[in-house]
A and B are shown apart, each in its own frame.
Chain A
């Protein structure tokens, strides 16, 4: 008999048994009888007219079964890939929403755009066939940068999208902001780029589809963070397959980071193809293919201005951003740089007036969508950089200016001028904790030690807040969401008292099988080992919106908590009957139902047994069985936040930035499993450090070629890039989630880029450096130092 392992404990992760022993079950591990192999033929051009495709040589190639193109899609009358959000401009005009065909029709709009699907007996034969496909392109000039895309005369991606602008979106009180700027004692300005990122999950995307003529049912196995949403979008909106005839399975998935939370054309093509060839079809992306087809992240160009009074109090904040959407609208695309960006520009400060304008722009690049943090890292970076610039210009200490503007703990709930209302938080407490943990008071000693070695040392702060636990459906609907954002859980108690949970979130590295089991173990008093979590299969799990936006514990965990409560309520009714007591007198604690004030008890297992063997059972008023389901739709986002302090050392000879210390004190609400939370924070911070120092997706302007299309050229952060991190929590409890949880999946990625870049700027500030764009590569730092006419130690 195992033991209860509840909230706050840190058991080893259940799922690691199979992952660490090579027994995971990933899509590419799956083999189906008669399975064929598919390969996508992708555009080698950033922008071209598709004049024609000659299939004959490919079809004649050994082993090739079929070649499908956009014309076949058109002939079958299939839909285009839907966008899940419809945003509007200031006048209420809907965004431009050109079709996104699952295989290109008439034109290709980015390198990697799919033009055909070749199916053969083996992957080698499919590749050989694909190489023989003759595609006639009329190459057009590409435009890849947002500044270039909105200029007059720029290449136009769509005939009916003038200047490539999808939507000219705004938020906030423009007039109030203008008035505040007029009376400001100081205005600080900042231009910056938020660099384009590529997610690079360990497991490349893959899919297998199978059609069963006997039942007219389809099954799609796919590397997805949200199988039910894929079933809905693909079945209802693209392929016209009734929901009950379509099963989508997302088994073990090797990392997502957002990259796998979209409905991709590959999924639709493969499912459609499986019926056409009447055999299962499998596709596994290569790493190179992932670079030009996985949705990218970030890619903003921003101008920001902060108005301050003579004491450094923020009066108003104005932000103008051009956000890259790539060649088409992906599932969440237009939502990210707007609704997940503008509402976070208040940060942890009392800034009374904020205005944000975002022009959402099409370019000849891979579609851009959510990537860990999604909009919120971009907002945090603008704001936290802006605060440092203002502090420097006004000669106010960077910590002091933050203190002067921070929302005090007692002011929560706090309504910002940009829609969101923070329920809880203590930014000052996080800041104070981090100052101590980072040993800021002895920074001068460390800086002097670095200087004695010819190095420049810098310290950077980021005091931030984010909105996660996506999301209240009603609120999201007002912002343009075309779906709901609740979550669901079923708690199935077996006759012997073990528990299987079916939950709509998806575990792809987050440790749900452990965290959720701890919640059930604690609440029902059953052994941790007697709880299994089932996810990722639309035939097994009732429904779900999936995992993204740090929502799994916040929304899914809440649904699970509610379903568990329902089990207890029913258990009490059964216990009352068996113990011949009033239901109101039954207590449930530590896995035992008892009559208050007596020693009469029934164990959880006895109650489960009675529910399934109802010989002595109130059948007139109570159904047999012990299985309960709950849906949970939150009333608000949750608002985790904290203070991150980065310490860097710059080698002026080479321009190399070394992250030497990193401290994070985060408010993530109730912590269920501290080991998993620490891991999430570590991983999130590393991804943010990657953006700040290493990662950059670079396109060639004229040709639209991705220049950073491999791990040789796109620098992912590695263990030797990082110091040991000091991570701790300083939590206030969320006031509206059942367990007080806030979510922790993205905080690291959101807080860290600004902390790192603020530290780099601090290290170089004595040379007049006021800003460094990300990534702060050695070449970029060296260039800044050259321009600063530094007497470099090398010379």
Chain B
């Protein structure tokens, strides 16, 4: 690890100011991706701005038609939340499948969404539910937030403060874990919401994406059989030592079916 300055502001504006005023500074939330990168000397920010003292970023609130989860809420809290388990069980299930107990204790929803790892679980839940990303300056719809491999719509100095999830009619997540990393080799989040069905896929490509043909089929018939014959184009899907693109494409269909099953159960 290379030396860096460490800041722990108490207010969001202070954090934003540090971020914009110090060139090469980075936010640290749970640090589940950043800290290993620092330890491997692959990143060497001048300063870290730690969000852990911003108490109002933690916690889950019931807004009736939506649930708002503070950006610094760790996965274990989401997984164990009675509220989330009752209103969006698919999201609680997703949180319970992330990494291992240590990661779930430290890792945060805001960190995961801001990092936008192509195999992370939360982007599928956020996009699948059509959530809203609340930042220090504005609100961003999930559909315009995730821009591809580790890329998001966040501007420099912009800090995610919460994610607001609409409560769906039904939702489910199915994940085929990469055996070594336990990231999603393919993860599919399916949500039946007021205006139709949304299907979001993580792990299969360079970033989370939706599957319109499946959404159309499920909007007509919310049942696994409705999408069993829908094949995903392998173009643009990831091929690596763990899974070839056509296998990932196949898994999208299998996991989508299982996600629908989970939503119905």
Any B CB within 8 A of the CB of A653: yes
Does B27 sit within 8 A of A, measured CB to CB?
A: no
Instruction: Say whether A269 faces chain B, with CB atoms less than 8 Å apart.
Output: no
A131 touches B41 (CB 8 A): yes
Known contacts A288-B40, A794-B253, A794-B257; is-contact A654 B176 (Cβ 8 Å):
yes
Contact of A124 among B1, B40, B183, B240 (CB under 8 A): B1
B241 at the A/B interface (Cβ < 8 Å)? yes
Chain A neighbourhood of B3, CB < 8 A = 124
CB pair A707–B254 under 8 Å, yes or no, is: no
Task: Give the residue of A127, A696, A713, A782 whose beta carbon is less than 8 angstroms from that of B250.
Answer: A782
The B contact surface, by secondary structure, is loop
Partner of B2, one of A128, A696, A698, A778: A128
Interface string of B174-205 (1 = CB under 8 A from A): 00100111010000000000000000000000
Chain B contacts of A694 at CB under 8 A? 179-180
Closest to A716 in B: B180
- Kindly identify which residue among B2, B181, B253 contacts A712, using a CB–CB cutoff of 8 Å: B181
> Cβ of A783: which chain B residues have Cβ within 8 Å of it?
244, 247
Q: Interface digits, A752-795 against B, CB 8 Å rule (1 contact, 0 not)?
A: 00000000000000000000000001110011000000000011
Complex: A266 Cα to B176 Cα, angstroms: 40
Q: Tell which of B40, B247, B257 has the most Cβ of chain A within 10 Å.
A: B247
A779 neighbours in B (Cβ, 8 Å): 242-244, 247
Q: Give A114-137 as 1s and 0s: 1 = Cβ < 8 Å from B's Cβ atoms.
A: 000000000010011001000000
- The winner among A286, A708, A777, A794 for most chain B CB atoms within 10 A is A794
A124 with B2, Cβ < 8 A, contacts A654-B251, A713-B241, A779-B242 known: yes
- What's the least CB distance linking B237 to chain A, in Å? 13
> Are A714 and B180 in contact, with the CB atoms below 8 A?
yes
Q: Are B229 and A713 in contact (CB under 8 A)?
A: no
In the bound complex, residues from chain A placing their C-beta under 8 Å from that of B176 are 654, 778
Contact between A794 and B242, CB atoms less than 8 A apart: no
Instruction: State how many angstroms separate the Cβ of A246 from the closest Cβ of chain B.
Output: 34
Does A722 touch B at the CB level, under 8 Å? Answer: no
**Cβ-neighbour of B180 out of A654, A713, A795 (below 8 A):** A713
Q: Which residue of A lies closest to B41 (CB)?
A: A127
**Interface check B228, CB cutoff 8 A:** yes
A715 within 8 A of B: yes
A721 to B177, CA, bound (A): 12
Q: Which of B180, B181, B240, B257 has the most CB of A within 10 A?
A: B180
Query: Are B180 and A715 neighbours in the complex by a CB distance under 8 Å?
Result: yes
Whole-angstrom distance between the alpha carbons of A653 and B244 in the complex? 15
CB distance from B222 to the nearest CB of A (A): 18
Interface presence of A569 (CB below 8 A): no
The answer to whether A795 and B241 have CB atoms under 8 Å apart is: no
Cα-based distance from A661 to B247 in the complex (angstroms)? 28
User: B254: which of A286, A653, A711, A712 is its contact (CB, 8 Å)?
Assistant: A653
Which residues of B sit under 8 angstroms from A711, Cβ to Cβ?
180-181
Q: Cβ of B2: which chain A residues have Cβ within 8 Å of it?
A: 124, 128
Contact count band on B: 20 to 34
List residues of chain B with CB within 8 A of the CB of A714: 180
Q: Which of B40, B176, B250 has most A Cβ within 10 Å?
A: B250
Considering the complex, which residues of chain B in the window 223-265 have a beta carbon less than 8 Å from any beta carbon of chain A? 228-229, 240-244, 247, 250-251, 253-254, 257
Complex Cα gap A714–B254 (Å): 25
Residue among B41, B228, B241, B257 making CB contact with A708, cutoff 8 Å:
B241
Q: Hey, which chain A residues are within 8 Å of B181, CB to CB?
A: 711-713
Q: Mark A691-734, 1 if CB is under 8 A from B, else 0.
A: 00010101000000001100111111000010000000000000
Contact B247 A782 (CB under 8 A): yes
The closest CB in chain B to the CB of A651 belongs to B254
Contact, CB under 8 Å: B254 / A654? yes
Q: How far is the CB of B253 from chain A (nearest CB, A)?
A: 7
Set of chain B residues within 8 Å of A794, measured between Cβ atoms: 228, 250, 253-254, 257
CB contact between B229 and one of A124, A778, A795 (< 8 Å): that residue: A795
B183: A residues at CB distance < 8 A: 712
Per-residue interface assignment for chain A, residues 635 to 658, with 1 indicating a CB less than 8 Å from any chain B CB and 0 otherwise:
000000000000000000111000
- B251: which A residues are within 8 A, CB to CB? 654
Highest count of chain B CB atoms <10 Å: which of A288, A707, A712, A721: A712
A286 to B242, CA, bound (A): 24
Which A residue's beta carbon lies closest to that of B257?
A794
Shortest B235–chain A CB gap in Å is: 19
| Nearest chain B residue, comparing its CB with the CB of A656 | B176
A707 touches which of B41, B179, B241 (Cβ 8 Å): B241
A128 nearest CB neighbor, chain B only: B2
Among B2, B179, B243, chain A packs the most CB atoms within 10 A around the CB of: B179
B179 touches A715 (CB 8 A): yes
Interface residues in A120-162 by Cβ distance below 8 A to B read 124, 127-128, 131
Check B254–A713 contact: CB distance below 8 A. Answer: no
Write out the residue numbers on chain A whose beta carbons fall within 8 Å of the beta carbon of B254: 653-654, 794
Contact A777 B179 (CB under 8 A): yes
Tell me the bound Cα distance from A206 to B169 in angstroms. Answer: 56
CA distance in complex: A288, B41 (Å): 12
Minimum distance in angstroms from A692 CB to a CB of chain B: 13
Contacts of B250 in A (CB 8 A): 782, 794
Shortest Cβ distance from residue B118 to the other chain A in the assembled complex, whole angstroms: 13
Closest to A655 in B: B247
A784 to chain B, nearest CB (A): 12
Nearest chain B residue, comparing its CB with the CB of A711: B180
B98 to chain A, nearest CB (A): 14
CA A715 to CA B257, docked complex, whole Å: 27
Point out the residues of chain B lying under 8 angstroms from A286, CB to CB.
40
Contact with A along B37-54 (1 / 0, CB 8 A): 000110000000000000
Instruction: Report B1-55 residues with CB < 8 Å from chain A CB.
Output: 1-3, 40-41
What is the CB-to-nearest-CB distance from B251 to chain A, in angstroms, rounded to a whole number? 7
How far is the CB of A651 from the nearest CB of chain B, in Å? 9
- Between B41, B183, B242, the greatest number of chain A beta carbons within 10 A of the residue's beta carbon is seen for B242
Q: Please name the residue on chain A nearest to B229 by beta carbon.
A: A795
Cβ of A713 and Cβ of B242 under 8 Å apart? yes
Interface mask (A477-516 → B, CB under 8 Å = 1, otherwise 0): 0000000000000000000000000000000000000000
Query: Which B115-154 residues sit within 8 Å CB-CB of chain A?
Result: none
Once bound together, how far apart are the Cα atoms of A318 and B137, in whole Å?
73
Chain B, Cβ-Cβ closest to A714:
B180
Verify A795–B228 contact, CB threshold 8 A.
Answer: yes
For the complex formed, measure the closest distance between the CB of A605 and the CB atoms of chain B, giving whole angstroms. 51
CB nearest to A713 among chain B residues? B180
Chain A residues whose C-beta falls within 8 Å of the C-beta of B240 in the assembled complex: 707
Name the B residues within 8 Å of A653 (CB-CB).
Answer: 254
Which residue of A696, A713, A783 has the most chain B CB atoms within 10 A of its CB atom? A713
A399 nearest CB across to chain B (Å): 31
A-chain residues with CB within 8 Å of residue B241 when the two chains form the complex: 696, 698, 707-708, 713
Residues of A within 8 A of B253 (CB): 794
Closest to B185 in A: A778
A649 to B181, CA, bound (A): 23
A559 to B101, CA, bound (A): 47
Q: A708-B241, A715-B180, A779-B247 are in contact. List 16 more A-B contacts (CB 8 A).
A: A124-B2, A124-B3, A127-B41, A128-B2, A654-B176, A696-B241, A707-B240, A712-B181, A712-B183, A713-B241, A715-B179, A721-B179, A779-B243, A794-B228, A794-B250, A794-B257
Contact sample, A vs B, 26 pairs, CB 8 Å cutoff: A124-B1, A124-B2, A128-B2, A131-B41, A286-B40, A288-B40, A653-B254, A654-B251, A655-B247, A698-B241, A708-B241, A712-B180, A712-B181, A713-B181, A715-B179, A777-B179, A777-B242, A778-B176, A778-B179, A778-B247, A779-B243, A779-B247, A794-B228, A794-B254, A794-B257, A795-B229
Using a CB–CB distance below 8 Å, which chain B residues touch chain A? 1-3, 40-41, 176, 179-181, 183, 228-229, 240-244, 247, 250-251, 253-254, 257
A residues sitting closer than 8 Å to B (CB atoms) are 124, 127-128, 131, 286, 288, 653-655, 694, 696, 698, 707-708, 711-716, 721, 777-779, 782-783, 794-795
3 closest Cβ pairs, A-B complex: A715-B180, A712-B181, A715-B179
